[in-house]
Amino acid sequence: MNSSTSEEIAAIDVFLGPMPALAELEAEWQALEVFAEPSFFTSWSWIGCWLALLPANVKPQWLRARQSGRTVGLALLVRRTRQRFGLPFCDSWHLHETGDPDYDILTIEHNGFLLDTVLADVVREAMLVHWVKHTSGASELLLPGQAGSGLSEQTLPALYRGNRTRTSYGVNLEAVRERQGDYLALLSSNTRSQIRRSIKEYQTIGPLVVHEAQDVAQAHHFLSRLAEMHQQHWVERGEPGAFSNPFFKRFHERLIEENLPRGQIQILRISAGERDMAYLYSFVKSGRIYFYQSGFDYRLIEKHGRPGLVAHALAVQHNAALGHMVYDFMAGDSRYKLNLATINEPMTWSTLRKPAWRFRMEHALREWRYRMKAKKAAKCEEVEA
């Protein structure tokens, strides 16, 4: 992204302040989507549900950019006070998140400002410049889950930026269709062998069949079964599981109610005969399947049970046959993603910080701690040697 000129930025009128009524924001957001390229997570399908369920004490502000009276950029920011040593430290602004783990358990990815594609670079920079000018001296902006490598170093170079990049994995479904639906042919011989052996074992119970939820009632039933399997697996491992969070559960129930009729929700049940083997919950947008959550029966067969590998392999073939373009496992280095993916891209979590002495102090403290930790590790290695 090239840095925009001051004249181009000045031509963009930006506002940061309280949101309008939800109906007004919905109309403006959806109007801009026509000229933008939103992911499912930056479409009103996700954003509107998120806003509707946030508690009253969480008040997002909207960052709106206009040119010649037409909206060309939108974003929602939640401001929180970040503390250090139990004291207020800085204003922390979060893009399409709250800064509260109880609500950010939703884990947004493919995030970013909603931008008119023709003007995207200049509008993004104008919005960031406005945020810098109209926030307090010690402020930081957190941009979670952006597709790509984050902002160019040329964009607002005076800001301190910290980037954490993870790899996002997926499957090119066009390549599967070119193989006449033989997805396994695209995988390593070891992964192919594991999946084929596991399929053979499951077929001793009965035929493997993919069922896609056809209406809201069936989708809710599938989600309930998915949650049961998911919770059983994670609780047995000493973890609470995502569905123990009431906000998480309410959000996805509403998301299904509003978006399954629009064809934007996919919940698959994979059965072996009459037995449930797996459930996969995904979002659908512009030819991309965003795999989001799963539930597996790990006890259905005693040997060679690979319910995750088998379920995803069948889901990939199912979605290739439907004509979709990408089956997106999203970010993270879980082994199954590495084994099943045919494509990958970076996903970046960025933090932008304004020039302020307290940030320099915080950075220096982190560097000192890192050096002390490295020095301690080096001494331990000397003793062991």
Residue 368 has pLDDT above 50, yes or no: yes
Considering the domain architecture, whether residues 179 and 249 belong to the same structural domain is answered as yes
Same domain, yes or no: 148 and 228: no
Domain count, the chain: 2
Residue 140 has pLDDT above 70, yes or no: yes
Considering the domain boundaries, does residue 337 fall inside one?
yes
Alpha-carbon distance of 113 to 141, in angstroms, equals: 13
Which has the minimum average pLDDT: 128-132, 169-173, 292-296, 370-374? 370-374
pLDDT digits (tens, 9 = 90+) for 82-96: 988 888 889 999 999
Q: What percent of the chain has pLDDT over 70?
A: 97
107 and 65 share a domain?
yes
Is the confidence at residue 281, as pLDDT, over 50? yes
250 with 147, same domain: the answer is no
Element containing residue 37 per DSSP (H, E)? none
Residues 138 and 177 in one domain: no
Confidence of residue 382 (pLDDT cuts 50, 70, 90): low
Per-residue pLDDT at 258 exceeds 50:
yes
- Here the CATH number for the domain that contains residue 239 is 3.40.630.30
- 175 lies in the same domain as 231: yes
212: which strand partners? 268
Chain segment 1-12, per-residue pLDDT in tens: 456 678 888 889
pLDDT tens digits for range 304-328: 789 999 999 999 999 999 999 999 9
CA atoms within 13 A on the CB side of 331: 19
Domain boundary residue, one of 107, 125, 158:
158
* Residue 222 backbone phi and psi in degrees, to 5: -60, -45
Q: Which residue in this structure is represented by tokens 């400002």?
A: 113
State the amino acid at position 172 in one-letter form: N
189-202 and 307-321 helices cross at what angle (nearest 10)? 100
- Digit-coded pLDDT (tens) for 23-72: 999 999 999 999 999 999 999 999 999 999 999 999 999 999 999 999 99
Q: Which residue range is the domain that position 87 belongs to?
A: 6-158
Region 327-348: mean pLDDT is 96
Looking at the structure, do residues 339 and 207 belong to the same domain, yes or no? yes
Residue 355 falls inside a structural domain = no
Which of 58, 328, 355 is CA-nearest to residue 171?
328
**pLDDT tens digit sequence for 190-239:** 999 999 999 999 999 999 999 999 999 999 999 999 999 999 999 999 99
- Is residue 111 within 8 Å of residue 41, measured between CB atoms? yes
Q: What CATH number is attached to the domain comprising 29?
A: 3.40.630
The pLDDT assigned to 87 comes to 87
pTM of the model: 0.92
